């Protein structure tokens, strides 16, 4: 079993829909949670960074962390075709010496 599980998709939704992307993990010591967006042939871009449990909102993006369930989510409201990309979750903690442990990435397609 991988430390971080993420459905690779692809996930295809119509423009304007609310998108929900998720990761589950097994190591309860993870404390820092990140979402990155990666366009084809580009480096990952940090979208959200959260510590411990709770919600964080930034524009159309909301990140949720539920440490009791070992489950994190990224919601995208009013999705746009430009949101089409691969979304990677990553997490770290003292246990991993803060080395990022990555999900496989979910390919998201927003249809106009």
Please report, as ranges, the residues that interact with another protein according to CB under 8 A.
8, 31-32, 34, 36, 41-46, 49, 51, 88, 90, 92, 97-100, 102-105
End-to-end CA distance of the chain: 37
Q: Count Cα atoms within 13 angstroms, Cβ side, for 47.
A: 26
- To which residue do tokens 């979208």 refer? 47
- Nearer Cβ to another protein (79/103): 103
- Nearer Cβ to another protein (14/97): 97
Q: Under a CB-based contact definition with an 8 Å cutoff, are residues 42 and 21 in contact? A: no
Closest distance to another protein from the beta carbon of 83 (Å): 18
- Nearer Cβ to another protein (18/94): 94
């Amino acid at each position: 079993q991988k430390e971080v599980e993420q459905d690779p998709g692809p996930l295809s939704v119509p423009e304007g829909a609310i998108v929900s992307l998720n990761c589950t993990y097994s190591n309860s010591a993870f404390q820092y949670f990140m979402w990155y967006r990666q366009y084809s042939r580009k480096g990952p871009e940090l979208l959200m960074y959260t510590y411990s449990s709770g919600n964080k909102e930034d524009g159309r993006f909301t990140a949720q962390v539920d440490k009791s369930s070992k489950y994190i989510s990224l919601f995208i409201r009013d999705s746009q075709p430009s949101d089409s990309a691969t979304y990677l979750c990553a997490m770290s903690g003292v246990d991993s010496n803060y080395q990022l442990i990555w999900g496989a990435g979910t390919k998201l397609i927003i249809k106009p």
